[in-house]
Amino acid sequence: MNPYTHRFFALLILGVFVLAGCGGADKPVRVSGVVRSKGKPVPDLVVHFLPEKGRESTGITDNSGAFVLKYGQDTEGAVRGKHKVFVDYRPHDAKQEAEIAMGKAGHSPEMKSLLTKYSKKASTLTYEVTQDGQEIPIELE
């Protein structure tokens, strides 16, 4: 064999090992939870999990405060690691969204306080995503 063939096979083998080592660490794992404030569920929130590295995951709380994180449009979960967690409000229908935009409706003082304290800029909440199927209870004060 000539020297170019040796180089080709050496690079091919190296490439296989590099690709094999880049697999599962960044794959999202399923994460769900419940958001409560003073022990009561908080519906209509968008819960953001922002990792130190990688793409953000979000979930929307239902009437029981439960959420399931989505890593993308078709993928559930979040990447493993430490995440900054913050929330914002999502109106549950178009009518409510329009009323809020026109100033005809607003948030309760309690909701305003939560949205201010746990905004992207102000939130100090952090959670560690460690395993598939993890449930994370979030208590907002």
pLDDT digits (tens, 9 = 90+) for 60-105: 999 999 999 999 888 999 999 999 999 999 877 777 767 777 777 7
* The predicted structure's pLDDT at residue 21: 46
Q: For residue range 45-63, what is the model confidence (pLDDT) as tens digits?
A: 999 999 998 899 999 999 9
pLDDT for 138 equals 98
Which segments within the chain are labelled E, that is strand? 31-37, 40-41, 45-51, 57-60, 66-68, 81-89, 126-129, 134-140
CATH 3.40.50.2000 is right for the domain spanning 25-140: no
3-state SS, residue 108: coil
Using only the alpha carbons of the chain, give its radius of gyration. 21
Residue 30: its pLDDT value, please?
97
